[in-house]
Amino acid sequence: MVNTRSQTKMAENADLLFLLSEMKKSMAKGQEEIKKGQEGMRKVQEEMRKGQEEMKNQIQSHVESEVGEIKDHFNSCIERIEEDVQSLKREIGEVNSEVERKIEEVEDKTNGQISDIRRTTVFKTQFDVVSSANEWNNRVKVSQFVASLRGSAVEVLQGIPSDKLTDLTTIENALEARFGDSHLTQFYRTELKTRRQKPGESLQVLAADVERLMTLAYAKCPQDVRDSLAGQYFVDAIREEDTQYATRLMDAKDLKSALTYSMKYKAAKTVSKTSRNVRSIEIEDGTGKEKDEKFDCLLKTLEKLLNNHIAGKKNTP
């Protein structure tokens, strides 16, 4: 009965050993499968990494290609825009040159017409004075007047009937129609309103030009009205604000009074400015002298201290 128990126990141990052996085999097989699985995972990961790297390179290459094409297109657009801008600048320059040329032509033509008008006006005034002084009759006036005409003024005679060439009034009317300044009244008035003192232009020259424009713009106005208007236009034309302001406060009645006061004000301002500069120089001189005196005093004090120090050393045994 003892043997039976021993045999039973041995059988059980054998079974356990078999189970352990089987378990070890299963575990070894499982570990091998795990290793194979891990190896497979590493291969998959490597393939994925290679695929990602390849895809990254492809994307980068594609992006670089696209960027390069965009840059080329952008540079091409910029070049075309620059060419268009340069072409537009050339066209604008050509247009500006043409406009300036046209303006110069118009100005030259206008200035020539105004010059002819002024010469004709001056000539008629001179002729009236000479004819009155010599007491010429109408026949002599006509002959002298016609003989005195020059240039384009002589061409006016071609449009007058032969039976009217002895009529001074007819000749004067024809000249007035051709060279008269009645149609330029508004032009002179505009020029008078916009007249401003130029840099370096004296008040006397400004006043003379204002008076000239007043004569042309308001020839038919009474003298006192012209004098009053001339004074106002003169004040408006003064360049310096303080001089203009002071002259305006003076409320001058005519051009002469406005000119006199403005010149006095400007002279007084110049004298005051000079006086301030002189006082400034005097103050600077006085300050300099005071500084020199302080320096001399300090120098003497230092010299005295140095002498006392030397004397003290000599007296020391």
pTM over 0.85: no
Tens-digit pLDDT profile for residues 254-298: 999 999 999 999 888 888 776 565 555 555 555 555 656 665 666
DSSP string for residues in 102-162: HHHHHHHHHHHHHHHHHHHHHHHHHHHHHHHHHT--HHHHHHHHHHH--THHHHGGGGS-G
Which pLDDT score, from 0 to 100, does residue 311 have? 60
Q: State the Cα–Cα distance between residues 180 and 114, nearest whole angstrom.
A: 9
List, in sequence order, the alpha helices (H) in 135-254.
138-148, 152-155, 168-179, 185-193, 203-217, 223-237, 241-250
Please provide residue 221's backbone torsions phi and psi, each rounded to the nearest 5 degrees. -80, 155
Domain boundaries, the chain: 181-271
Q: To which residue do tokens 């016609």 refer?
A: 146
- State whether residue 313 is helix, strand or coil: helix
Cβ burial of 230 (10 Å; 0-12, 13-18, 19+) is buried
Cβ burial of 214 (10 Å; 0-12, 13-18, 19+) is buried
Report the pLDDT averaged over residues 172-196. Answer: 80
- State whether residue 14 is helix, strand or coil: helix
Show the tokens assigned to 204: 């006397």
- Residue 63: which H helix or E strand, with range? helix 2-134
What single letter denotes the amino acid at residue 227?
D
Show the tokens assigned to 235: 């004040």
Would residue 209 be called left, alpha or beta, if left means φ above 0 and alpha means ψ between -120 and 50 degrees? alpha
Note whether 206 and 233 are within 8 A (CB): no
Tens-digit pLDDT profile for residues 75-119: 887 888 888 788 777 877 776 666 666 555 544 444 444 445 556
Show the tokens assigned to 93: 């320059």
Show the tokens assigned to 317: 């045994």
Residue 176 has pLDDT above 60, yes or no: yes
Using 50, 70 and 90 to split pLDDT, how confident is the model at 195? very high
Note whether 153 and 120 are within 8 A (CB): yes
Residue 188 has pLDDT above 50, yes or no: yes
> What is the DSSP secondary structure assignment for residue 196, as one 8-state letter?
-
Q: Tell me which of 156 and 231 has the higher pLDDT.
A: 231
Q: Which fold has domain 181-271?
A: 1.10.1200
Counted residue by residue, the chain has a size of 317
